[in-house]
Amino acid sequence: MVAAAPGTYSDDNGGRSMEFWPEFLATSGGREFVAGGVGGMAGVLAGHPLDTLRIRLQQPPPPPAGGLAHAPRRRDTTAQPSAARLLRGILRAEGPSALYRGMAAPLASVAFQNAMVFQVYAILSRSLDPESSATSEPPSYASVALAGVGTGALQTLILSPVELVKIRLQLEAAGHKHGRHRRGPVEMARDILRREGLRGVYRGLAVTALRDAPAHGVYFWTYERARERLHPGCRRQGADGDGDEGLGTMLVSGGLAGVASWVCCYPLDVVKSRLQAQGAGSVPRYRGVVDCFRRSVREEGLPVLWRGLGTAVARAFVVNGAIFSAYELALRFLASGSGPRLVMEEN
């Protein structure tokens, strides 16, 4: 094989193919894909400790010693610790690393997942509003919301197994003490597949889709509305990645989008977490989405559907502020063309 210059490929006949990354990043789809991956990774790093608290707060209290798992329990609001007390307990008993248990699963996949989310959203929003594409205008808010719903429904095929592994790892950390073997995400995924099959890997898929489809519609609609209110005209200026809104606008708009989407879907998230926490090794407490709703409310009261909301809202603001800020900055950087040229010059 003939040697080629850095960044190019050569075949046996000495012919050089076109460089992939510069060509890929020259398209709007390529830039949206890469920027979405950067944003997703930033969100996971920023919000995983609060996500661990949310998952543990959502779980039902353990059954009384010697009692049956299905025996009715009296409502006891003191049985569930507050977020602050739970955090202190985790740090004291398990150490700070417990807050990051299960992060490898979403971090390993979130770059691809978020990249697909932002790219699919951009494609759908433009296709639902072709007149805006022809006139270089931003998509209408109705198109934004509908594109968000479609994006949320499609991304559950990737997100549901990842969240299942993450939840199992987060709850396993709560049950294991120091010195015991703790599994990683790959080992956990293999164990779920071996014991529960493919159906177990996709446990909670339906409720995840019910949660994410409307939530993503609210998510993208709120972000576009908020950034336009905070910086009028930025949507039109930023259609090609060259908007001039500041970092504060990105952080606040992204944070508000995350909060709005979580508030509208939080009861379904509680149900999803409880269903996915059930393994095949024991008799499942809940038979499905409706049964989980009924039993949870009957045994623990209506507030159970909002347990952990404060932690989730705080996490949503931090995480989605980071996601949209990283996405917009990466998109602007890639659109300027300075990133790929710098890399090629250094090479």
pLDDT of residue 4: 42
Q: Average of pLDDT values for 153-168?
A: 88
pLDDT of residue 8: 43
pLDDT of residue 99: 80
Residue 9's pLDDT band (boundaries 50, 70, 90)? very low
End-to-end CA distance of the chain: 21
3 domain residue, yes or no = no
Domain count, the chain: 1
Residue 55's pLDDT band (boundaries 50, 70, 90)? confident
pLDDT of residue 327: 93
pLDDT tops 80 at residue 212: yes
pLDDT tops 60 at residue 75: no
pLDDT tops 70 at residue 23: yes
310 domain residue, yes or no = yes
pLDDT tops 80 at residue 43: yes
Show the tokens assigned to 128: 């639902």
Using alpha carbons only, give the angle 75, 76, 80 rounded to the nearest 5 degrees.
125
88 domain residue, yes or no = no
244 domain residue, yes or no = no
Supply the range of the domain harboring residue 123. 31-54+94-232+249-278+285-337
SS3 for 61?
A: coil
Q: Which CATH number belongs to the domain containing residue 123 in this structure?
A: 1.50.40.10
Residue 173's pLDDT band (boundaries 50, 70, 90)? low
Q: How far apart are CA 40 and CA 213, in angstroms?
A: 18
pLDDT of residue 310: 87
Q: How far apart are CA 229 and CA 94, in angstroms?
A: 44
207 domain residue, yes or no = yes
pLDDT tops 60 at residue 184: yes
321 domain residue, yes or no = yes
C-alpha dihedral, 209 to 214 to 219 to 225, nearest 10°: 160
Q: Interhelix angle for 83-93 vs 28-58, to 10°?
A: 90
80 domain residue, yes or no = no
pTM of the predicted model as reported, rounded to 2 decimal places: 0.73
Q: How far apart are CA 345 and CA 5, in angstroms?
A: 12
Residue 119's contacts (CB-CB under 8 Å, 6 or more residues apart) are: 29, 32, 33, 36
Q: Compute the mean pLDDT over every residue in the chain, rounded to the nearest whole number.
A: 79
